[in-house]
């Protein structure tokens, strides 16, 4: 057998092994990266014309899918909505009554958080990296960074985000988003309903 033919056989065998490994590994990896509250995430994402994988990635980074999570600053629930932001969102959504305890309800938290994320995307021309930065650091602060030229809002320049916490947050959400899209082949319908709760 010629060296060229042997090299072709090795290349072909390597590709087959890699495809088989990916085929068998994805289901196992999906168990390491589940999407609890998948139905609620899908419904809230659809209501606000958002990619459900983006919402799931944000929830994973914000709260680890813990509906009772409370940050050191007081943000609550799956999408870590601050009570004062929740009050503002509720008013914008036309809700007549708001109680910060509602932020611990997974469905309501997701409805409010996705509404806010949609508003941020609209404010920042549909740029996910900028909307995620604003979700973490605040709309006014991110607008100042853009106006002052401290960050140009591109994913390629995340290193320019002035706050390390925000920079890390945006990177983690975008990386988790890519991971989810790969693991579930870009189809949220492949998310197992058996893993709906942690």
List active site positions.
Answer: 62
End-to-end CA gap in the chain: 55
How many Cβ atoms are within 10 Å of 3's Cβ, its own excluded? 7
d(CA 102, CA 123): 26
Residue located via tokens 């168990």: 31
Residue located via tokens 């996910």: 128
d(CA 117, CA 128): 9
Instruction: Tell me the backbone φ, ψ of residue 70, rounded to 5 degrees.
Output: -135, 125
- Say which residues have a Cβ less than 8 Å from residue 40's Cβ, sequence separation at least 6: 106, 107, 110
Q: 19-55 burial, b if ≥16 CB within 10 A, otherwise e?
A: eeeeeeeeeeebeebbbbbbebbbbbbeebebebbbb
């Amino acid at each position: 057998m010629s060296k060229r033919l042997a090299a072709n056989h090795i290349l072909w065998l390597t590709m087959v092994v890699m495809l088989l490994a990916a085929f068998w590994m994805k289901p196992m990896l999906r168990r390491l990266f589940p999407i609890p509250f998948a139905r609620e995430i899908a419904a809230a994402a659809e209501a606000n014309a958002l990619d459900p994988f983006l919402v799931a990635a944000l929830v994973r980074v914000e709260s680890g899918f813990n509906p009772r999570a409370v940050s050191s600053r007081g943000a609550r629930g799956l999408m870590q909505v601050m009570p004062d932001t929740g009050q503002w969102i509720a008013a914008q959504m036309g809700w007549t009554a708001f109680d910060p305890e509602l932020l611990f309800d997974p469905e309501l938290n997701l409805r409010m958080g996705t509404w806010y994320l949609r508003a941020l995307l609209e404010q920042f021309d549909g740029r996910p990296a900028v909307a995620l930065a604003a979700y973490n650091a605040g709309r006014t602060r991110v607008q100042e960074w853009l106006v002052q030229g401290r960050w140009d809002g591109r994913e390629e320049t995340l290193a320019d985000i002035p706050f390390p916490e925000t920079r890390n947050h945006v990177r983690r959400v975008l990386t988790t988003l890519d991971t989810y899209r790969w693991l579930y082949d870009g189809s949220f319908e492949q998310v197992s309903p058996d893993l709906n709760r942690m």
